Structure 1
Amino acid sequence: MKIKQEKNEKFDGLAEDYDRYRPRYPLALFQMLLAPFQDRKNLTVVDVGAGTGIALESMVDTLGEAHQYHAIDISSDMIEHGKKKFPHVNWHKGKAEDVVLELSSIDLAVAAQSFQWMDRPSLMAAIDSRLNTGGAFAVLQNNRHFEKSDFLDAYESLLEDMSSGYSRYYRKFDFLQEMKDCFGEKGNIALHSHDWLMTIPSDAFIGMSRSSTQAQRAISVHGQVFTEQLSELISEYEKDGKLEILYHSELFIFTKS
């Protein structure tokens, strides 16, 4: 598969594998995020950088469909896939900060696994201008816990060797400080984390890897060599055809007072 270089097509062509193989987010973090909203009516909920709606799965399941949901993404492929899952959601293609400013008000905005790709100061300023009192903006992400996994450490090294410009530290931003700089004393800012283990079939990990732009970039340059080295790596660490993937998930929440 040829990797498209245009920013607005970053994930085009990957939607099906992305939705099928990407890990979902820990229920414990979603319960923490959504608990203040469960008894509220007529919420306006925004999924920023929604992809195929993976975060929406937990939000709609927990809060119900009787709210106004908006999902924003820059990939037509992701949006078309998401519409099939959530036809009742308002899907928008465009820059998140621009679409947010088109909304009159927001009760809950979530950026799941997408915040690092965005113009974060502009997005937070837009959300701040539309966020209702008592509303929340959350950043949620699953991070491969390579510091505590020999397999994941080796996998990151493989990507760094074969995917041009990739670093395992690509999400190493101080989101907490960035949120403090943007929102200041306008409310409470908190960070919650959760470590968890996912056991998956080895072929599912290959599918998950192929759904990433990093692996696709390696495939576009090295082709079968990358695939063979990935298979060799998996063979070294799998047990009974399965792999254990350790995640360190983080939830950053700003609640407006």
Structure 2
Amino acid sequence: MSSDSINRFSDRAENYDRFRPGYPPGLVDFIRERIPSREDVVIAEIAAGTGIFTELLARWGNPVYVVEPNADMRQLALRRLAAFKNCTFIEGTAESTGLPDGSVDLIVSAQAFHWFDAAKAKAEFKRIGHGNPLVAIVWNLRNTDSAFESGYESLIRRYSVDYLKVSQRKMKTADVSAFYAPMKPEYRVFKYVDFLTFEQLRGRTLSYSYMPDQSSPLTQEVLASLRVLFEAHQRDGKVRLSYKSRLFIGNI
């Protein structure tokens, strides 16, 4: 992970924590069914952000290493996960986690794999993995099927700084599968739907690293366009935003 990819979320951490989407329960259950039901199975989430996905893992009761390089994001993860005594917080990256050799049974990356140097991350995952570690790569991909979703995608492309360079849309199935080679991961797609007020949509939009930050002179124009789009499509004060929640899981 580069210093740019680490630092670009610092001024967006609060919006990220409050307004980013969750994950389908079926996806989390699918991962759970693939690890032994023992309390000594150790999990590491790499680039855990503010702990949105980590919270779902922590509920299992297993030891969880929460690895996150950004101090602002890590502080919010500490707040979110304060009740979970099974979580240990580590300042580290995918390429240099700071975890002991052979210490982890399940490695998870949620909404972060596109930031990694894949070759270096794979070497690091093999180092920290116990035996042939199980690796789960997860991300939510926004749909563009409805009139609102298509308009929202157009708005983001119009105002984004480097959307096509850094978004999960650049992650092709073949590229992620290559990370596991010569092993073959399982691949599943789950559905996730949110119904958002304007405040929630605003916060989610401002949480994207490729959108102008709140100090930009463009931000008010972005929000004005977002308001027009919202009002054109809202029903009972909310708009529907749906996702494909993609999961790769397998040994490396």
Q: What is the TM-score normalised by the length of structure 2?
A: 0.88
Does the 8 Å contact 2:139/2:168 carry over to 1? Answer: no
Aligned to 2:234: 238
Secondary structure at the aligned position of 1:164 is classed as coil
Does the 8 Å contact 2:46/2:93 carry over to 1? Answer: no
1:20 Cα offset (Å)? 1.3
Q: Name the CA distance, whole Å, in 1 between partners of 2:114 and 2:131.
A: 26
**Is 1:220 aligned to residue 227 of structure 2?**
no
Secondary structure at the aligned position of 2:34 is classed as helix
Aligned to 2:147: 150
1:197 Cα offset (Å)? 2.2
Alpha carbons of structure 1 residues 167 and 151: separation in structure 2 relative to 1, 3 Å: farther
Does the 8 Å contact 1:179/1:254 carry over to 2? Answer: no
Does the 8 Å contact 2:161/2:211 carry over to 1? Answer: no
> In the comparison of the two structures, how many residue pairs are matched?
247
**Is 1:172 aligned to residue 169 of structure 2?**
yes
Deviates more, 1:209-218 or 1:51-60: 209-218
Q: Name the CA distance, whole Å, in 1 between partners of 2:208 and 2:242.
A: 18
**Is 1:113 aligned to residue 111 of structure 2?**
yes
1:241 Cα offset (Å)? 0.4
Alpha carbons of structure 1 residues 164 and 70: separation in structure 2 relative to 1, 3 Å: same
Letter in 1 for 2:64: Y
1:219 Cα offset (Å)? 6.5
Alpha carbons of structure 1 residues 27 and 168: separation in structure 2 relative to 1, 3 Å: farther
| Deviations 1:99-128, CA, capped at 9 Å, x for gaps | 156443211110000110111221122112
Equivalent residue in structure 1 for 2:35, among 19, 23, 37 = 37
Does the 8 Å contact 2:187/2:247 carry over to 1? Answer: yes
Aligned to 2:75: 80
Deviates more, 1:162-171 or 1:121-130: 162-171
Aligned to 2:6: 8
**Is 1:205 aligned to residue 201 of structure 2?**
yes
Aligned to 2:63: 68
Does the 8 Å contact 2:102/2:129 carry over to 1? Answer: no
Aligned to 2:159: 162
Alpha carbons of structure 1 residues 217 and 160: separation in structure 2 relative to 1, 3 Å: farther
Unaligned ranges ≥5, structure 2: none
| Deviations 1:44-66, CA, capped at 9 Å, x for gaps | 210111001111111112x11xx
Does the 8 Å contact 1:17/1:210 carry over to 2? Answer: yes
Aligned to 2:181: 184
Letter in 1 for 2:39: K
Does the 8 Å contact 1:125/1:182 carry over to 2? Answer: no
1:159 Cα offset (Å)? 1.6
Identity over aligned residues, as a percent? 24
Does the 8 Å contact 1:45/1:69 carry over to 2? Answer: yes
Alpha carbons of structure 1 residues 40 and 96: separation in structure 2 relative to 1, 3 Å: same
Letter in 2 for 1:165: D
In terms of fraction of residues, the more helix-rich structure is 1
1:218 Cα offset (Å)? 8.2
Does the 8 Å contact 1:196/1:246 carry over to 2? Answer: yes
Unaligned ranges ≥5, structure 1: none
Does the 8 Å contact 1:159/1:215 carry over to 2? Answer: yes
Does the 8 Å contact 2:206/2:213 carry over to 1? Answer: no
Q: Name the CA distance, whole Å, in 2 between partners of 1:100 and 1:127.
A: 11
Q: Name the CA distance, whole Å, in 1 between partners of 2:96 and 2:194.
A: 36
Q: Aligned-pair RMSD on alpha carbons?
A: 2.4
Secondary structure at the aligned position of 1:96 is classed as coil
**Is 1:52 aligned to residue 50 of structure 2?**
yes
Does the 8 Å contact 1:100/1:127 carry over to 2? Answer: no
Q: Name the CA distance, whole Å, in 1 between partners of 2:217 and 2:108.
A: 34
Does the 8 Å contact 1:159/1:218 carry over to 2? Answer: no
Secondary structure at the aligned position of 1:156 is classed as helix
Q: Name the CA distance, whole Å, in 2 between partners of 1:108 and 1:35.
A: 12
